[in-house]
Amino acid sequence: MLRRYRFPILLALILLLAIYLFGFRWRGIDKVIRRHDSFIEAIEEKDWGKCAKLVAPAYRDRWGFERSDILLTLEDVGRQFFIVLDLDWKTAETKWEGSTVSISGHGTFTGKGSPIASAIEARSKRYSSEPFTFFWKKQSFLPWDWKLVKIEHPRIEIPNGYRPGDLGSAVSGGF
């Protein structure tokens, strides 16, 4: 008797799971916020592979950085200058516009490391009065497929001569 109802019961369980995942767990803005939190966490953990998975191939920001540039810059800061890295992030505003979600907030780097790490920490505190804005764009029909496409900050300027991945240019450029 149970054998006859096995397929309909299994189908009903799969349907309930799909409703839960698509209706609650992967709901629009909540999923983007989870992605953003994962990105901040990956920076703190210096997990560059995880960062790379969260940055869109079409990433481009006002400093002219593309995907590979922003990933190399994060590595420069996290791997080369800081032994211990903390990113204190406070979200101030989240906006949904079409297929893009912007998450604005304030963040500062703190940690232990080289003398350059102290300079980065001091500079990040100077910039913390104005918000960073992270732009996330949906990449496909999949509800969890959100990627970072741009980061903005109104005051940050990249030191002259700095090239992502080239520590010599970071030091000589006034980092």
Please check whether residue 142 lies inside any domain of the structure. Answer: yes
Q: Are 144 and 31 in contact (CB under 8 A)?
A: yes
Report pLDDT digits (tens) over 13-63.
777 776 666 555 555 678 899 999 999 999 989 899 999 999 999 999 998
Q: How many domains in the chain?
A: 1
In a domain? residue 156? yes
- Taking only the tens place, the pLDDT of each residue in 66-115 is 999 999 988 887 777 778 888 889 988 999 988 899 999 998 878 787 78
Query: Which H or E run contains 172?
Result: helix 167-172
**Domain of 73?**
27-172
Residue 137 lies in a domain: yes
Instruction: Sheet with 146-152: list strands edge to edge.
Output: 82-97, 100-113, 132-138, 146-152
Question: CATH number, domain at 122?
Answer: 3.10.450.50
Is the sign of the CA dihedral 120, 175, 131, 60 positive or negative?
negative
Task: Read off the pTM.
Answer: 0.78
Is 3 inside a domain boundary?
Answer: no
Q: Does a structural domain hold residue 18?
A: no
Contact 71, 78 (CB under 8 A): no
